[in-house]
Amino acid sequence: MAEAWTGAGRLDPGRLRRVVVKVGTSILTHPGGRLHFGRMEALVRQLADLHGEGREVILVTSGAVGAGMGRMGLTSRPRTLVEKQALAAVGQGLLMQHYEKLFAEYGLVVAQVLLTREDLEDPRRRESARETLAVLLGWRTVPIVNENDTVTAEEIRVGDNDTLSARVAALVGADLLVILSDVDGLYPRDPRTCPGQEPVPVVTELGPDLWRGAGGAGTPVGTGGMRTKLQAAAICMAAGIPMVLTSGHRPGVLAAIGRGEVPGTLFLPRPRAVPAR
């Protein structure tokens, strides 16, 4: 199989047939947790254009807990897991209601896919999830994936949507994973404590220095941080899938990626990795 990236740290637009896009809570919600409709609209319009270019698009979305917080009038993430699970039950429906409405404006059908870690690890359930996603893509719908937070206890969770999106990309043999975050790429050191650095354009090796620089957890509403992005990159690299980490605040970011540009950091699979498909 020819590769979806070129030697110059660019992507080959003609080879990006199946694209997984992950968007985090910090992009989708206001600091207090309410859904940010302007950003959701901009995201959906760009996804609709990628789809209109003939690509298959899967969206991995966070924001269920955040939207639940907003709906319940909470301003900070609750501490107990069971409260987060309950908030996800409130927020997931709201999230889908908005996606359904926004994608429908472009004539697109969405399909909610809620996964647990077991669905991705147990061979029979994994195959079933893979087949269902294949049918949904064949029907030209836009599968919208999240973890099934409401029913997943701590020890059986994927836990963060960066890792979830990489596992989904590997499951469906995607040509690219795009992680839309509130940072515009991977920095050598935590940019919140060491300003004035440029993001690394291309990463081909996840050495100990990168993990050390990745720091800890993310924002008050999200669960990620750089560590889970690197974990996602490790999964993609092992599966032979390129991954772009970039800012979801950058206007037209997905259109640029559709043209083969990489506005952020491109993580490339190890040269001898076996392609996932």
Does 222 help bind ligand GLU (rule: CB under 6 A)? Answer: yes
Which residue number, 89 or 273, has a Cβ lying nearer to ligand GLU?
89
Judged by beta carbon, residue 220 or residue 275, the one nearer ligand GLU is: 220
Tokens of 144: 């919208």
Minimal distance in Å, beta carbon 156 to ligand GLU?
Answer: 14
Nearest distance from residue 82's CB to ligand GLU, in Å? 15
Considering only the stretches 129-137, 142-150, 199-207, 233-241, report the one whose residues sit in contact with ligand GLU under the rule CB under 6 A: 142-150
Find the shortest distance in angstroms from Cβ 62 to ligand GLU: 3
CA dihedral 130→132→134→137, nearest 10 degrees, is: -130
Residues sharing a CB contact under 8 Å with residue 229, sequence separation 6 or more, in sequence order: 162, 179, 181, 186, 214, 245
CA angle 79, 43, 246 (to 5 degrees): 75
Q: Does 70 participate in binding ligand GLU (rule CB under 6 A)? A: no
Should residue 224 be labelled a site residue for ligand GLU when binding is judged by CB under 6 A? yes
CB of 138 to ligand GLU, least distance (A): 26
| DSSP secondary structure letters along 127-163 | HHHHHHHHHHHHTT-EEEEEE-GGG--GGG---SHHH
- Contact assessment for residue 150 and residue 88, using Cβ atoms and an 8 Å cutoff: yes
> Given the complex with ligand GLU, which of 39 and 269 has the nearer CB atom?
39
- Stretch touching ligand GLU by CB under 6 A, among 125-133, 182-190, 220-228, 233-241: 220-228
3-state helix, strand, coil in the chain (%, to 5): 45, 15, 40
Residue 159 carries which side chain, given as an amino acid letter?
A: G
Residues 13-42, one symbol each (x = binds ligand GLU by CB under 6 A, - = not), give -----------xx-----------------
Residue 119 sits in the site that holds ligand GLU (CB under 6 A): no
Q: Are 253 and 242 in contact (CB under 8 A)?
A: no
Q: Of 160, 175, 184, 261, which lies in the binding site for ligand GLU, with binding defined by CB under 6 A? A: 160
Pairing of strands 176-181, 243-247: parallel
225 makes contact with ligand GLU (CB under 6 A): no
Site of interaction with ligand GLU (CB under 6 A): 24-25, 62-66, 88, 146-147, 149, 160-161, 222-224
